[in-house]
Structure 1
Amino acid sequence: MSRLHLGKKGEKAHFFDQRPRKDASNLFGRDEEIEKLSRALESRSWVAVLGPRMVGKTSLAWAGANVFAGKNGYRVVFVDLRDTDTFRGATEKILGRLPKSTLDKLSKHISEVSASALGAGVAVKLKESTSARQALVDAFSTLKDTVLILDEVQNIQQGVPHFLKALGSIFNENDSLLIIFTGSYAGVVRKLFESTHEDPLFGRIPIEIRLSPWSEDVAENFLETGFERLGIGYTRGELREVIRRLGTLPGWLNLYGVRRYIERDHERALRTAMGVAVREAQKELEHLLEGRTPKARAVIKLLAFGATWGELLETGITKGALSHLLTILIDELFIVDKDESGVYYFSDPVYRKAAMGLSILGKDAQR
């Protein structure tokens, strides 16, 4: 069973931590995935870390990249793309995380460099006349012995073909630049895996590492280990209640652990964690339902209780729309499963509760 190895003074208070784990010794329950990612990088492969929100994709990318970098003299560059939906915007954000020496070589593409409002790297603005694709290719060609983590890359929707062509060029020309993509199986990631003979990345798809929620045993061991290290009293019934209500996604269990460490009260910590988790899940479901008919909303609410294909069609949704919606929920968000009897259901208790609480009409209709 994987455990954290905390030896430095003061580290025990951070056993439960909502920030990404950058050190493999601080990443619980993912030893096999760390080793697989490190081996993939050793083979000069690119990697796609896939999974639902709060499962620990960013932590695995950071920790695995640092293991490889430490052994091979590489540096790690991390780029958060969660709020970036265009290729041009992604290019500017990537450039803003690169070393100043690299930016100096790209002056012909850049109109402005300023302090970042987020405090990470700098804010870069491309010249209106410059090609984002060429700027990215020129930037990537200068990066030697680098592991680049593109976090939540699936959010890039506009300009994906140009992005893929830039990646294809770099894969061929710079074998010392290794890229880790994290996100769900959507957008850019889907295109990477579905490349055809005509695509620049054909035959060079990333190595896929799919993260699932922990098993109940690992989740319970995680909570137990943290409570024991932090000197927090607990009962077996409390552990079971946390897992039953929050599920086994590491992010939500970390949140509960943080609140339990601060509050020293199980009920209060669980109530707080559950409230935050359900609100975040409802936001994601509302985002998914934007622009869809009320029938799609009815499908989501039915899934909270479990329903067959035929029962879901009784909402009036078309077969094509239902198939597309289920594909997103199953293959991209990883929050719906189908049992042996053909019943589709929310596998995660937080999303199940969030779906139950969705308004029938939606936000727009309530205004």
Structure 2
Amino acid sequence: MKPFPETPIIKIEELYGREGEVSQLRRLVLEKKRWVAIIGPRAVGKTSLARAFATQYSSATGKPAVYSNFAGIHNFTEFVERFGLDVMNLVHENKLKLRRVSLGIKFFEAVLEREKNIPIAPRNPAALFDEVMRALPEGSLLVWDEIQDMRRERNKLLAALWRLHNVLAEKRPIIIFTGSAMGLFKKLLNPEYDDYLYGRAPVRVDVEPWDVQTGVEFLKRGLLAAGNVDFSIDELREASIKLGGFPGYLSSYGRGRIDGLTHRRALKNAHEEAVKRAMSELRSFVRLRPQREYQRKVIALLNAMGEGVSRPSSLARLSGLTEVSVVNTLETLLEMGIVEKESKSKVVSIYRFKYGFYQEAALRIRA
């Protein structure tokens, strides 16, 4: 295996430092057949964990696994088209055999074979979704990555998932969702009494960054495997601390060292990548609010946190949000693993960014 690959890992034996999470997935998916939500901030290794486990699942059970990346997908029609195309790509590669060929499947074949890059929207995405699900072999595993980006028509997807549980129960595939705990994901994880998935929420598996020593060992192993890289343990420790133990950013640092960069330059580049990706994640968080004025206030809140303001009352005054709205926003960021909370008394808590690159990203965001 090449040290510090740029693409997600797809073999379980190449996955480093995630033995506990893999054990959880085996118990929940292989033994209990439960739907699972893998939660964590960007670059923490959610996709590698899900894809590597999916490969192992297929090997262990002989059942197919279908991976779909829904980053940038904003409505149910786009969702169904992306998922259907992923299914049909596997069919065309002879990696998946469907139980029957329906009108819906023929639609996706037409999309795949179109000569011009003209989107073809299905007339009834919900019916098409159901047809594809019926056509999948029993016991199929679906990995749905970055599901939180879907901002419109969420209830259509939730209704489709309800049908999987109640109408198509005998054919129901196992689904692993991955993403950040915001937007659609919050609905999946915390359905209320009158929501579609009340009582059927996926089991949450949190993926945390590594501790400092695990990050050091990861870098040491990769650099030794690469050879011809002079490094010190103190350098690796500094990188692990500054990059928060995030596998994605540590890998970026490792690739820089292998390419001949000095410790300082490789660390600076990896840190800047972390800041930019944190900015992208925070912008996605802001865009979940439909009103521009509300978005502006959330950005003001993030700017204030970037400057070190931590009390909800002060953040409310600086952002123009009510204190209740501030606390709700901060609690969502807490669920996402971006901020940490410290109780100062029974009624007063303060919130701070857990990692320096998120704080720097919050300072750079502008309305």
| TM-score band w.r.t. shorter chain | 0.7 to 0.9
- Structure 1 residue 223: Cα displacement: 1.1
Bigger CA drift: 171-180 or 92-101?
Answer: 171-180
* Counterpart position of 1:302: 304
Note if 1:21 corresponds to 2:28. Answer: no
Equivalent residue number for residue 8 of structure 1: none
Which residue pairs with 2:279 in the alignment? 282
Task: Tell whether the 8 Å contact from 1:96 to 1:123 is kept in structure 2 after alignment.
Answer: no
1:299, CA displacement in angstroms?
Answer: 2.3
SS in structure 2 at match of 1:307: coil
SS at match of 2:304: helix
Which one of the candidate residues 257, 265, 268 is aligned to 1:268?
A: 265
Contact 1:47 1:209 in 2 (8 A): yes
SS state at 2:276 partner: helix
Q: Report the secondary structure of 1:169's partner residue.
A: helix
Q: Which residue of 2 aligns with 1:114?
A: 112
Q: Is the CA contact (8 Å cut-off) linking 1:16 and 1:226 kept in structure 2? A: yes
Q: Distance in 1 between matches of 2:253 and 2:118?
A: 35
| Counterpart Cα distance in 2 of 1:66 and 1:126 | 31
The one-letter code sitting in structure 1 at the alignment partner of 2:360 is: K
Q: Which residue identity does 2:111 align to in structure 1? A: V
The alpha-carbon distance between structure 1 residues 356 and 108, as it changes in their structure 2 partners (threshold 3 A), is closer
Identify which of 227, 249, 253 aligns with 2:250.
253
Is residue 313–residue 323 contact of structure 2 (8 Å, CA) maintained in 1?
A: no
Q: State the shift of 1:192 in Å.
A: 2.3
Q: 1:131 to 1:176 in 2, by over 3 A?
A: closer
Aligned to 2:156: 162
Q: TM-score, normalised by structure 1?
A: 0.85
Pairs aligned (count): 341
Q: Distance in 1 between matches of 2:284 and 2:36?
A: 27
1:209 aligned partner: 205
> Using the alignment, how far apart are the partners of 2:170 and 2:262 within structure 1?
53
In the aligned structure 2, how far is the partner of 1:196 from the partner of 1:226? 46
Structure 1, residues 9-35: CA drift from partner, whole Å, max 9, x if none?
A: xx2xx2211211111111111011111
- 1:78 equivalenced with 2:78 (yes/no): no
1:134 equivalent in structure 2:
127
**Does residue 125 in structure 1 map to residue 120 in structure 2?**
yes
User: In the alignment, residue 193 of structure 1 is paired with which amino acid?
Assistant: L
Q: Which residue of 2 aligns with 1:4?
A: none
Structure-1 separation of matches of 2:250 and 2:118: 34
Q: Which range moved further: 285-294 or 263-272?
A: 285-294
Aligned equivalent of 1:337:
340
Corresponding position: 1:323 with 2:327: yes
Q: CA deviation at 1:355?
A: 2.3
- The structure-2 alpha-carbon separation of the partners of 1:343 and 1:200, relative to structure 1 and needing over 3 Å to count, comes to closer
Identical pairs, percent: 28
- Tell me how far 1:198 sits from its aligned partner: 4.3
Q: Which 10-residue stretch deviates more, 272-281 or 96-105?
A: 96-105
Unmatched 5+ residue regions in structure 1? 1-10
1:229 deviates by: 1.8
One-letter identity of the residue aligned with 1:63: A
- 2:214 aligned partner: 218
CA separation of 1:27 and 1:96: change in aligned 2, threshold 3 A: same
